[in-house]
Structure 1
């Protein structure tokens, strides 16, 4: 390995604080790879969680690997050295298993670049007995694994807590990892792309998948898994020395654009006792804690959790807050721990657009809750918006400016009375239709139109004092959409982009693929979609009903807190149910865990 890069790795390792002992032995050597920089990867709770899961097995020795920055990559290419693991400096091609945790589509190309730098053949078909087995998993892969399928020996489809035990048992078996893959072919949650052939229609759409059948996405259950948490603290990430803990998983709101809302159902959570007990154990190492959830305020004990953490001396931060569940009491509790900024997600500027998206709050409520935030001493507010949404007009884009200006006015009114004025940080992203949502059939907006909207907002925000806008480009949405909505042929474009050192747009051209086919074409309701081979439990009929209600600007209720609900299909009481929604989280109040699965699937 290039000496300078190894010195840098040692420096980063020395800065780390391990919250559990480092594993140094194991017969199955696994490199857990994050396809982005160390700074990004070590901020990812899912990546840290899988690292913890793998090293919990006596047979496994798991090390980490990250994408090198441009300078280090050039050094590796110039010197002929291989990309290596973080802990021992072992070349990636010397491991038995390379497991990639892939959370975002824009990291797909990084997966290929890490394989190339590690001396591993890109395509699974080109690997032999002496090459590592390449396993791909992570949130992006259980939405649509197809653009990366030809590069994977195995895809883990679902949550790590449910999949890692079966995977370790198979890959660490006497026959070795490659034989272990065969034993996973028929098990729920595992997709072996080489066992599936794709047939296409004359118009380029998918005709059918010939193979073992759909892959059922797997879920983890609190009563069977450890609390998802940071296992390593480091100052060298955006979350600098912050202990991250997942307090709940899933969201009942069913926002129509949100892949996480549909794909992490049903709602599951950990108890106040489990969360606070672990926070108490690690308090000696840090005073910063982050509560991770798609619906923080939905946790039935959230007020008590924050009270307990404040009593331990923690500064508590939370992910983006849902406005419809935000209370003055909760805002006060956060402010009392020293929080100076919060994040809200209006998503759009008009009540009409929110009805389209199934966001069940109004501008008036947003302004009231922003006022609570400022009056409780929290000075800074980040706002998430999107443009290019279905049914959006220029008036809706103008409404984003108006809403931000009104929030700013509330901030100024409170701040001037106290002699402290904060800042507003609008973050605007182009809308990307995602698999596993009602919008999976819709085309993406023309990037030129999206850029016009972004430019309009950029100028408008630029005229507002105390407002610092963060604007993504339509180009970012271009790549993300192709990878989110692509079929297996997009792998050719990724391969060309990797080998030629170009971006995805040029890779598409080199592979002879038309971006418009993936981006700007409405999909037929009876069309076989590339991601139909993944069964996430939500019925296609439900998605279509929600799409129709969106087009009619009609709201749908949140997930009902009743057992046996059949509305979306996730919690159906079938002969072999795999999960169900609880009647009430607090119904199991004496238990350390709120949600129990129904009878396990065979």
Structure 2
């Protein structure tokens, strides 16, 4: 990164830093220095409670300095290497531990550029220096840790809160050897064992819910503070990982949430974080409290079958103007196989109530390419969309229908189902797109890239051999860019 680019990076970082409200003091330097890395833009990282929770725990640990790193800092504005931390703009090579928060598999494709810039071999077996120590956790790691088993020294395949304090304590007392933490539940040291540790420890969300200790006006929730109200999902959709990764489902009590809101009066807008918010057993009472306190909600995702008239009225009272629903398909047969029971009359009745209550926008999510799907199933989905148009009669300012593709993932009921071929995905997307072109007005259709879907399916199931692919890409990327590398540091404790 030349002087001009570095100055631009530092200016962008300072500007974003000025948008933050912080609940704790941050320590950027300590006996042990950790770079907490989010492979996505700042706005997305500061909306990720997993990333924020780990950052808070590390920041509160005595003797540890932790700084954030976003790659890229801002969406669509890449900065060339070498790369620098968000807070003090230190080179990444100056840190003892590089800790990656990985929520999505597509972030794996950023490894070649990042590792090349650092001058660190991607394959752990080829790294001569024991520093920096490379650590990764997050939903993408829990989903398919084998893909990263030859890349990282330590993989956290379970929840971080129950083990993070003990892990940091051992590092502070005894040095940075992966072997020191190999026995911790939910921690896998691939150099020590062939398979991940099946024993994990779950966090007591009910007494200690995750919340945003740093709130940025630039987060994707419009600057709202975030709090986790439920971890895990009681449902068992055939394609979804939430039940596997965060089992058992745990809800934060109404009383605990009230206490938290009352202790943070400086925030008038909140986002309630949960895989399935309306499956919280006290959701109506929570909404009543928020409405009484005149707290605005930044939530939109809802389970349509839980949207009673009362809940809809409370959502409107909390300032919610748009709702996101996920029927996934219009086919009753296919819905049952997906674990999404769809009763058409009930669904349409709920949509009528949503429109009547004055919501201005609705977004509907559908999934294509799932096992046993036929074009008759697609026709039923299109008929459902047409019926939605008949119900809303132009009363909505915006009606968005969004189509993604099926990605089989380990640990789900459909883990062994074949991923759809690229040509077949394109064919189905084209079929749906052509049909929807006849609708004018407020309806907009969005389609995930078929190539991205196929890539996700590959990353979700690939094994340890993935390191060889990344090595090749890093070599090619390095040859093209002729990088000025940031040298890795040696241990000083």
1:149-171 Cα offsets, whole Å, 9 max, x none, are 21101001111212212221222
SS at 1:85 equivalent = coil
Q: Which runs of 5+ in 2 are unaligned?
A: 479-493
Asked if structure 2 preserves the Cα contact closer than 8 Å seen for 1:340 and 1:379, the reply is yes
Asked if structure 1 preserves the Cα contact closer than 8 Å seen for 2:35 and 2:69, the reply is yes
CA distance in 1: counterparts of 2:19 and 2:35, whole angstroms = 21
CA distance in 2: counterparts of 1:242 and 1:119, whole angstroms = 38
Q: How does 1:398-437 map to 2 (within 5 A)?
A: 398-412=379-393, 415=395, 421-437=396-412
2:198 to 215, 219, 235: 215
Matched residue, 2:421: 446
Matched residue, 2:276: 295
CA distance in 2: counterparts of 1:37 and 1:84, whole angstroms = 14
**Offset at residue 19 of structure 1 (A):** 2.9
Q: From the superposition, tell whether residues 280 and 320 of structure 1 become closer, same or farther in structure 2 (CA, over 3 Å).
A: same
Matched residue, 1:592: none
**Offset at residue 142 of structure 1 (A):** 0.9
**Offset at residue 340 of structure 1 (A):** 0.8
Tell me, yes or no, if structure 1 residue 43 matches structure 2 residue 25: no
Matched residue, 1:108: 108
Q: From the superposition, tell whether residues 295 and 188 of structure 1 become closer, same or farther in structure 2 (CA, over 3 Å).
A: same
1:474 to 450, 464, 467: 450
Asked if structure 1 preserves the Cα contact closer than 8 Å seen for 2:404 and 2:447, the reply is yes
Q: CA RMSD in A?
A: 2.1
Matched residue, 1:165: 165
Asked if structure 2 preserves the Cα contact closer than 8 Å seen for 1:190 and 1:215, the reply is no
2:430 to 455, 459, 473: 455
1:244 to 220, 226, 235: 226
SS at 1:258 equivalent = coil
Instruction: Single out whichever of 150-159 and 363-372 deviates more from structure 2.
Output: 363-372
Tell me, yes or no, if structure 1 residue 388 matches structure 2 residue 369: yes
1:75 to 74, 80, 105: 80
Q: How does 1:579-598 map to 2 (within 5 A)?
A: none
- Could you tell me the TM-score, scaled by structure 1's length? 0.75
SS at 2:410 equivalent = coil
Q: How does 1:319-358 map to 2 (within 5 A)?
A: 320-358=301-339
2:236 to 254, 270, 273: 254
Asked if structure 1 preserves the Cα contact closer than 8 Å seen for 2:205 and 2:251, the reply is yes
Matched residue, 1:177: 176
CA distance in 1: counterparts of 2:388 and 2:330, whole angstroms = 11
**Offset at residue 213 of structure 1 (A):** 6.7
Asked if structure 2 preserves the Cα contact closer than 8 Å seen for 1:24 and 1:61, the reply is yes
Matched residue, 1:528: none
SS at 1:496 equivalent = helix
Q: Which runs of 5+ in 1 are unaligned?
A: 77-81, 197-210, 416-420, 503-602
**Offset at residue 120 of structure 1 (A):** 3.5
SS at 1:36 equivalent = coil
2:287 to 301, 306, 315: 306
Matched residue, 1:363: 344
1:235 to 211, 217, 234: 217
CA distance in 1: counterparts of 2:275 and 2:48, whole angstroms = 15
Asked if structure 1 preserves the Cα contact closer than 8 Å seen for 2:21 and 2:215, the reply is yes
CA distance in 1: counterparts of 2:310 and 2:470, whole angstroms = 49
Asked if structure 1 preserves the Cα contact closer than 8 Å seen for 2:325 and 2:362, the reply is yes
CA distance in 1: counterparts of 2:341 and 2:196, whole angstroms = 38
SS at 2:444 equivalent = coil
Matched residue, 1:194: 191
**Offset at residue 25 of structure 1 (A):** 5.1
CA distance in 1: counterparts of 2:56 and 2:246, whole angstroms = 21
Asked if structure 1 preserves the Cα contact closer than 8 Å seen for 2:186 and 2:197, the reply is no
**Offset at residue 431 of structure 1 (A):** 0.5
CA distance in 2: counterparts of 1:481 and 1:212, whole angstroms = 22
Count of residue pairs the alignment pairs up? 472
Q: From the superposition, tell whether residues 213 and 296 of structure 1 become closer, same or farther in structure 2 (CA, over 3 Å).
A: closer
SS at 2:150 equivalent = helix
Instruction: Single out whichever of 16-25 and 295-304 deviates more from structure 2.
Output: 16-25
Matched residue, 1:514: none
Matched residue, 1:267: 249
Instruction: Single out whichever of 434-443 and 322-331 deviates more from structure 2.
Output: 322-331
Asked if structure 2 preserves the Cα contact closer than 8 Å seen for 1:434 and 1:485, the reply is yes
**Offset at residue 74 of structure 1 (A):** 5.4
Matched residue, 1:33: 37
Asked if structure 1 preserves the Cα contact closer than 8 Å seen for 2:215 and 2:223, the reply is yes
**Offset at residue 306 of structure 1 (A):** 1.4
1:328-382 Cα offsets, whole Å, 9 max, x none, are 2111100111211011110111111111112123222211111121111112111
